[in-house]
């Protein structure tokens, strides 16, 4: 274990950031380029990598004030967000001590703190959905079915709300990918009929990408097999 940790540590480096809330500089662990091997893209369009999962390192946490967000949105703060965070921040914040190599449990802990900050800064609901889905993915990695279902349910509900309230791209997703993801979440929380319906509508669209088309076909096969068994 110790040796494995040392080997994983060599794949990481300290990246510098400036906090948009307290304006101080700090460092956070990131994976060096070319230090992961792509294995596959799973049904939830999550890239699986060896020997480190990049999404375990997507959460950035300021050492000075504690502000935490996913890398996609860390800098995307407007005046309203900054005010809301500053009002809620702990003035006596002590940085959390994490080891260099993050276990699934640590990654989940960090995403949950990012979710808390998304909540207090009153971010777009899609940001919360994105974080919840990441938490569900990692619960899946450690076979925690209860946690996986709880956070997939949040992700499904929040993305459904975002679909009504927000404009595309939503968390970098165009509409086809977004709807595919909603079908995936519906499936994960036990709503197979909705998943089937959405995929049926998507597959006949003319602007569907080849990658997504392949995934839809794979997904429909899984749903068919589920029905037969």
Output 19 or 179, the one with its CB closest to Zn ion: 19
Tell me how far, at minimum, the Cβ of 98 lies from Zn ion, in Å: 17
DSSP state of 28: E
In angstroms, rounded to a whole number, what is the distance separating the alpha carbons of residues 69 and 2? 30
Tell me how far, at minimum, the Cβ of 67 lies from Zn ion, in Å: 5
Output 30 or 64, the one with its CB closest to Zn ion: 64
Tell me how far, at minimum, the Cβ of 71 lies from Zn ion, in Å: 15
Contact 25, 18 (CB under 8 A): yes
Tell me how far, at minimum, the Cβ of 81 lies from Zn ion, in Å: 13
Tell me how far, at minimum, the Cβ of 13 lies from Zn ion, in Å: 21
- Sequence-ordered list of residues with C-beta below 8 angstroms from that of 222, at least 6 positions apart, any chain: 43
C-alpha distance from residue 49 to each of 20, 46, 53, 219 (Å): 30, 9, 5, 21
Binding site for Zn ion (CB under 5 A): 19, 21-22, 62, 64-65, 67
Tell me how far, at minimum, the Cβ of 128 lies from Zn ion, in Å: 21
In angstroms, rounded to a whole number, what is the distance separating the alpha carbons of residues 171 and 180? 14
In angstroms, rounded to a whole number, what is the distance separating the alpha carbons of residues 74 and 124? 13
Cβ-based neighbour number of residue 69 at 10 Å: 28
Tell me how far, at minimum, the Cβ of 94 lies from Zn ion, in Å: 13
C-alpha distance from residue 183 to each of 24, 135, 188 (Å): 41, 18, 9
Output 91 or 206, the one with its CB closest to Zn ion: 91
> CB nearest Zn ion: which residue?
19
- Sequence-ordered list of residues with C-beta below 8 angstroms from that of 39, at least 6 positions apart, any chain: 48, 49, 50
Cis peptide before 169 (omega within 30 of 0): yes
Output 19 or 108, the one with its CB closest to Zn ion: 19
Closest CA to 156 of 133, 140, 137, 176: 133
Output 110 or 196, the one with its CB closest to Zn ion: 110
Output 19 or 212, the one with its CB closest to Zn ion: 19
Output 22 or 118, the one with its CB closest to Zn ion: 22
């Amino acid at each position: 274990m110790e040796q494995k940790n040392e080997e994983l540590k060599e794949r990481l480096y300290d990246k510098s950031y400036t906090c948009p809330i307290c304006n101080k500089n700090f460092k956070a662990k990131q994976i060096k380029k070319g230090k992961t091997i792509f294995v596959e893209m799973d049904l939830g369009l999550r890239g699986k990598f060896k020997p480190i999962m990049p999404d375990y390192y997507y959460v950035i946490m300021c050492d000075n004030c504690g502000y935490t967000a996913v890398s996609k949105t860390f800098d995307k703060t407007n005046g309203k967000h900054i005010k809301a965070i500053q009002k809620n921040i702990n003035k006596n914040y002590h940085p959390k001590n994490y080891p260099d190599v993050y276990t699934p449990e640590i990654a989940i802990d960090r995403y949950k703190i990012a979710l808390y900050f998304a909540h207090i800064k009153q971010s777009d609901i899609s940001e919360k959905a994105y974080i919840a889905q990441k938490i569900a993915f990692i619960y899946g990695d450690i076979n925690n079915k209860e946690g996986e279902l709880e956070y997939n349910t949040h992700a499904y509900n929040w993305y459904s709300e975002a679909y009504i309230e927000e404009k595309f791209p939503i968390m970098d997703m165009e509409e086809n990918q977004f709807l595919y993801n909603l079908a995936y979440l519906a499936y994960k929380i036990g709503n197979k009929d909705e998943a089937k319906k959405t995929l049926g509508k998507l597959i006949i669209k003319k602007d569907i990408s080849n990658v997504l088309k392949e995934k839809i076909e794979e997904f429909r096969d899984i749903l068919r097999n589920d029905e037969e068994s």
